[in-house]
Structure 1
Amino acid sequence: MCGILGYVGTGFSVSRFAGALRLLAHRGPFGEGIAALPNGAIGMTRLPMSGAAAVPLPPQEGQRRVAYNGEVYQAGCEIHGEIRLLLDGLQRGVLPDGMYALASWDPQTRQLTLLRDEFGIKPLYYSYQPERGLLAFASEPRALLHLLGGARADAEAIAQVVAAGVPLEGQTLFQQVRLLLPGEVLRFDLSQERPRLCQRQRLATAPASEVDSLDEQLGETLERCRQTFRPCALLVSGGVDSNLLGSYLDPQLQRFHLCLEGDEESLLPHPRLQRFELRQEAFMPLLRRAVGNFGGATRMSSLLMYQRLADGIGEQGYHCVLLGEGADELFWGYPRHLELWRRRDAPEPRRFAAAWFGEYRRKAALLAEPAGRRVAERIEELAHEALGQGLEAAIGQFDLHYSLEPLLRRADHLLMSRTIEARTPYLHGALAQRAGRLQRIVGDTAKAPLVALLEQREKRWQAQPKRHFRLPFERWPQALGEMRRHLAERLPALHDLGLEGLDAPSVAALPGDQLFTLTTLSLWQQEYGASL
């Protein structure tokens, strides 16, 4: 796991670039380096996981210099072998199994290539401003904003977060700063004075060889994801996904679990389980830090939970943890999957969008017009376009972009704030391609293949209702009160962001999930105010 950085433009400053690279030191405290480009540079910080041998950074492969963040899951590969597999995959048009973001400079073709893995496990932000002759990118927003010298708030993306809880179509809350989409490749021609985008494409992971059963496949994939010379632990939530992973692992492997004040536990007993507690009294200070590390506003109250986990795991000295992320999206584990599948016919766009974004039109009413109307219409346009591919494809598209990618980025930014690599076995091997061919819903049972496998492997397991990994606001009155007071004090600043319909009575009436989204927006405005 590493941090990567790049800048091409006439205003290139070595000292500013070095300062931006220092902002990624937590992603790679075991080495850093810079390589020159025409009118710029690429840089990299390193947290070695597959091998500890020292290498020049960014690594050189032939004539190419490659800034690389992530892992390719190929037995026996260290960093140079992983980079060769990625460069070969780019040439062939199919990607190797792994999690990565990459920037490759080829002096022969004078091209700079940016790449993000198929599911978006590793983040990459970029700003391409052809009118200024500027291209910049980084693993995290703070470093990119330092390179750019700041950015304006993006009113359209802010409206999207208010209504949907997440920016749409790769936008961020900063103008002219975007996320590379999952599986996206961008190629820039640097042969002229100004960088020019010459190709944009989407690539998928090469089909993996399958074994006879889901049981064998998951065990094989988990073993591949565990390969590191560093101690590894498992995050345990108490649900199907983490318990199933745990059934394959050595009983002596460390487990970590987050206990929420006022919440009931449903954990199977384990001798190597360590608990971290999250109490309401820590809510606002911890949330402020989490928003700063995440670099945006969000509806995901698990943001706070991941910051607490990261702090606890970091204090224990671990740099690698296994997560159950991706199982709900690939194997259909959410209530929305049950509801949509029971009907079988494609719903109208409003109802389909509501399955992901809730009452987005009611939330959009807080925005000044025409912004509120426009964001609601755009959400419905996206739903209509997705449904044109068929129901299953539409579910997959919305799950990837508006559920899985934000969850993965949350895990990356919060865990990496304490130099911890997250590994996600459900997103590797042949599990994704196998999931699409299985009967994922059986009767009233979502994620049926994984539930059946867990019942087979863990006799102590008892079926229970789906428990979302989120804060129990209905039992956290202190946190609700803190958010209401914070928003009431910040009304003028929030009006400046376009929330003209937000006033003291509406703040007093907002439900917990919407309070959380708006509180993260306000904290983002405060934490990043110097860059706006």
Structure 2
Amino acid sequence: MCGIAGWVSFDRDLATERATVDAMTETMACRGPDARGTWIDGPAALGHRRLAVIDIEGGAQPMSVDTPDGAVAMTYSGEAYNYAELKEELRRRGHRFRTESDTEVVLHGYLEWGEAVVDRLNGMYAFAIWDSRTRRLVMVRDRMGIKPFYFYRTPDGVLFGSEPKAILANPLAKRVVDADGLRELMSFSKTPGHAIWSGMREVVPGTLVVVDADGLRERTYWKLSTREHTDDQDTTVGRVRELLDDIVRRQLVADVPRCVLLSGGLDSSAITALSARQLAAHDEKVRSFAVDFVGQAENFKPDDLRATPDTPYVHDVAQHVASQHRDIVLDHHTLADPEVRRAVIRARDIPAGLGDLDASLYLLFKAIREHSTVALSGESADEVFGGYAWFHDPAIQRADTFPWLAHRMMAESNRMRLLEPGLESRLDMFGYIQDRYREAVAEVEPLPGADEHEQRMRVISYLHLTRFVRVLLDRKDRMSMAVGLEVRVPFCDHRLVEYVYNTPWSLKTFDGREKSLLRHATQDVLPRSVVQRVKSPYPSTQDPHYAGALQQLGKELLAEPSHPIFQLVNRSWLDETLQLDPAAMPAIVRNGLDRVLDIATWFDLYSPQVRL
């Protein structure tokens, strides 16, 4: 895992711009604390910050190969989990390797197959290849969008980077956010290709972007496609388990300490148990980490999202698989620390507004990084297997909008109230969301002969796998890479995603519950308490002192009447919120206060120009 950056300028020799390229690359230092490198050849400059995970001594980047017709160079972030098989195939075809890294395998794969190398990769990756033989840049992003990748067109080329901050470090990129950027920021859905910053775009997951002197072209090499599912129930459950065993085996490969993230839910517990079984075959014990909060047991109150606290289930799993387990316990002071908020916003480049969910994840990863460099996560199982409660709510199934927004309607209403009067009508959030929703639904390929309910559930699955999950994957990547921790997501393996996506809804819920396939595929390795546990999302602190700490920060903000945040935020809403009893503050209001503080911090760090 690493951070990449680069610049292609067809009208100049970038050898004179090394300082700028280095500045772009250094913004990625948190993603790659182990080494750095810059490669420049005429109109192309590639930068790299390395987090060494495979072949610690070798694998330095940017990596290049000299051919009779010119050099081919690559800057690469991520992991190709099938690199060993690809390497053997390339050796048979006459390729010779200098390192043991997967990076070199991908580069030689390009030399052998050209752009078609993307069809052979299994993994999470974002990489750029400058091919001096054809004077073109090829940018590639993995199928599910696990690794971030952004670009910004210039009059004579393009800037690119793992994160927007790399691009914004170049004077050619302007720190402007327009109305569509604000709409995207407030919508809690990730429109493919959108990057918030005006003029900047994401490389769409499963897409290859080619830039040459004639312009820029995009080609989709993978998308969720509809296929008929013919396996019966037992075969389907068996195939899910077979895939998971193979995926976990591949994703445990590393030359650095590994661990798993454990929440006590079905998803993370399954990954923990399967990892423990794989490692036990090599006389190793799995390490597991969980987040908890001071006083959570005393303050916990069941709600419509979280019926039970995590810790008892975490400990059941840790004992069941004999993991080397550690709880990371956080207090309200640390969660509300303005410096932690600054670190979170700096990592994400935008004010995502998830408050303590982001802060606790960042602090969890920071603590884990003292012991491990690679972690496996249960992220994305809910999107793949249909785990969220709203998947199973008939009213939400029929809602003519994104299901998670229908579920959050009250929270969305509160979010709009915090906006400066008049801004809500100018943004027309409802219209924007409906346009993006209809675009997404139009992408879904129907299955011939499927009934109305089956087709609707396919649409809902598609929305989660192409819009919702990308919000969560981006969050996990940014929080982990901010501390130099590589987080792998086994449930995002495209083979599993394709297989389960095309499994009929009746099979996904055959036991009358959510995630039937995953539960039955892994129940033999899990404690019964976890097999029977109802879905519970990533935890949030229920300590009322946290809300009180936010109010104090809000008062300090309100005392700065000229702060640019009041271009966007309703001062009266903030004043009213600061008068509430923190112990009785509704969660949706507390979330709004967290979002206001995030936006204020974003203005302080990035000085964005807001143009409506």
- Give the TM-score, by structure 1 length: 0.87
Partners of 2:426 and 2:182 in 1: how far apart?
A: 7
Shift of 1:531: 9.4
Cα shift at 1:204: 1.6
In the alignment, which of 380, 387, 395 is matched to residue 326 of structure 1?
380
Does the aligned pair in 2 maintain the 1:157–1:167 contact within 8 Å? no
For the pair 1:377 / 2:448, whether they are aligned, the reply is no
Between the aligned partners of 2:558 and 2:571, the Cα distance in structure 1 is 13
The answer for the alignment partner of 1:488 in structure 2 is: 558
1:469 is aligned to 538
The letter of the residue matching 1:123 is P
* Aligned equivalents of 2:360, 2:241: Cα separation in 1: 30
Report if aligned partners of 1:50, 1:228 keep a CA contact under 8 Å in 2. yes
Deviations 1:95-137 (A, max 9, x none): 52100001111112221111110111111121113xx334111
CA contact (8 A) 1:95 1:206 kept: no
Q: Does 2:30 correspond to 1:26?
A: yes
Deviation string 1:216-252 (CA, Å, 9 cap, x unpaired) is 2211110011111111111111111111112122362
Q: Secondary structure at the match of 2:436?
A: helix
The Cα offsets for residues 7-65 of structure 1, whole Å up to 9 and x where unpaired, read as 12368521121122222223223333222244341122222323234245311245321
- 1:175 aligns with one of 198, 201, 208: 198
Whether 1:391 and 2:456 are equivalent positions in the alignment is: yes
For 1:229, what is the secondary structure of its paired residue?
coil
Deviates more, 1:451-460 or 1:307-316: 451-460
Quick check: 2:237–2:521 contact (8 Å CA) kept in 1?
A: no
1:185 to 185, 203, 208: 208
Out of 187, 201, 215, the position equivalent to 1:164 is 187
Q: Deviations over 1:455-505 (max 9, x none)?
A: 332244342232211423574433442454355345643555433575444
**Aligned-CA RMSD value:** 3.1
Question: Residues 494 and 434 (structure 1 numbering): CA distance in 2 closer, same or farther, change over 3 Å?
Answer: same
Question: In the aligned structure 1, how far is the partner of 2:350 from the partner of 2:273?
Answer: 36
Task: Map 1:290-439 onto structure 2 (within 5 A).
Answer: 290-301=344-355, 302-316=357-371, 318-339=372-393, 342=394, 346-349=398-401, 353-355=405-407, 359-360=411-412, 363-365=415-417, 366-367=419-420, 368-369=422-423, 372-388=426-442, 389=444, 391-428=456-493, 430-438=495-503, 439=507
Q: Which runs of 5+ in 1 are unaligned?
A: none
Q: Distance in 1 between matches of 2:197 and 2:59?
A: 35
Contact 2:80 2:124 in 1 (8 A): yes
Evaluate the alpha carbon distance shift between residue 259 and residue 353 of structure 1 in structure 2; reply closer, same or farther with a 3 A threshold: closer
Verify the 8 A CA contact 1:89 1:95 in the aligned structure 2.
no
User: Among residues 283, 291, 294, which one is paired with 1:258 in the alignment?
Assistant: 291
Query: Aligned partner of 1:107: which letter?
Result: S
> SS at the partner of 1:154?
strand
Q: Percent identity?
A: 20
2:43 paired with 1:39: yes
**Corresponding position of 1:280:** 332
Q: Residue 236 in 1 paired to residue 262 in 2?
A: yes
Shift of 1:446: 1.3
| SS of aligned partner of 1:121 | coil
Q: Distance in 2 between matches of 1:429 and 1:165?
A: 24
Q: After TM superposition, give the deviation of residue 75 of structure 1 in Å.
A: 5.1
Give 1:334 deviation, angstroms. Answer: 1.1
Given candidates 76, 81, 84, the residue that maps to 1:73 is 81
Q: Distance in 2 between matches of 1:297 and 1:354?
A: 22
Equivalenced residues, count = 520
Alpha-carbon distance in structure 2 between the residues aligned to 1:306 and 1:99: 20
Contact 2:145-2:205 at 8 Å conserved across structures: yes
Residues 150 and 89 of structure 1: is their aligned pair in 2 closer, same or farther, counting only changes over 3 Å? closer
Paired with 1:54 and 1:162, the residues of 2 have a C-alpha distance of 40
CA contact (8 A) 1:66 1:105 kept: yes
Q: 1:308 Cα deviation (Å)? A: 0.5
Counterpart of 1:512 (choices 586, 590, 596) is: 590
Q: 1:358 to 1:530 in 2, by over 3 A?
A: closer
Please give the residue correspondences for 1:1-16 in structure 2 after superposition, counting only pairs within 5 Å.
Answer: 1-9=1-9, 13-16=17-20
Change (3 A) 1:304 1:369: closer
Secondary structure of 2:508's partner? coil
> SS where residue 517 of structure 1 aligns?
helix
By how many angstroms is 1:344 displaced? Answer: 9.2
Displacement of 1:72 after TM fit?
A: 0.8
- Seen in structure 2, the aligned counterparts of structure 1 residues 304 and 31 have a Cα distance that, compared at 3 Å, is same
Corresponding position: 1:82 with 2:137: no
One of 147, 152, 157 as aligned partner of 1:127: 152
Specify which of 243, 265, 275 is matched with residue 249 of structure 1: 275
Conserved 8 A contact 2:141-2:208? yes
Distance 1:227 1:278 in 2: 31
Identify the residue that residue 53 of structure 2 maps to in structure 1.
49
CA apart distance, 1:166: 5.3
Residue aligning to 1:154: 177
Matched-pair contact (CA < 8 Å) for 2:81–2:251? yes
Question: Which has the larger displacement, 238-247 or 10-19?
Answer: 10-19
Other-structure match for 1:142: 165
Alpha-carbon distance, 1:140 to partner: 2.1
Given candidates 594, 598, 602, the residue that maps to 1:524 is 602
What letter matches 2:80 in structure 1?
V
Secondary structure class of the residue paired with 2:58:
coil
Alpha-carbon distance in structure 2 between the residues aligned to 1:323 and 1:242: 6
Match of 1:498 in 2: 568
Counterpart in 1 of 2:220? Answer: 202
Q: Which runs of 5+ in 2 are unaligned?
A: 88-100, 226-235, 298-310, 445-454, 581-587
Q: Equivalents in 2 of 1:488, 1:288: separation in Å?
A: 18
Larger radius of gyration: 2
Cα 1:93/1:137, change in 2 over 3 Å: closer
Q: Distance in 2 between matches of 1:453 and 1:238?
A: 17
Q: CA 1:449/1:55 → structure 2, altered by over 3 Å: closer, same or farther?
A: closer
Contact 2:295 2:543 in 1 (8 A): no
Deviations 1:375-419 (A, max 9, x none): 320101111233343534532443234422122222222212222
Deviations 1:310-329 (A, max 9, x none): 2101222x211111111111
- Does the aligned pair in 1 maintain the 2:403–2:460 contact within 8 Å? no
Greater shift, 371-380 or 300-309, is seen at: 371-380
Q: TM-score, normalized by length of structure 2? A: 0.77
How far apart, CA to CA, are the structure 2 residues paired with 1:238 and 1:473?
A: 18
CA gap 1:487/1:372 in 2 versus in 1, 3 angstroms: farther
CA separation of 1:24 and 1:459: change in aligned 2, threshold 3 A = closer
Residue 341 of structure 2 aligns with an amino acid whose one-letter code is: L
Distance across 2 between alignment mates of 1:212 and 1:351: 30
2:590 & 2:429 partners in 1: Cα distance?
22
TM superposition shift of 1:506: 4.8
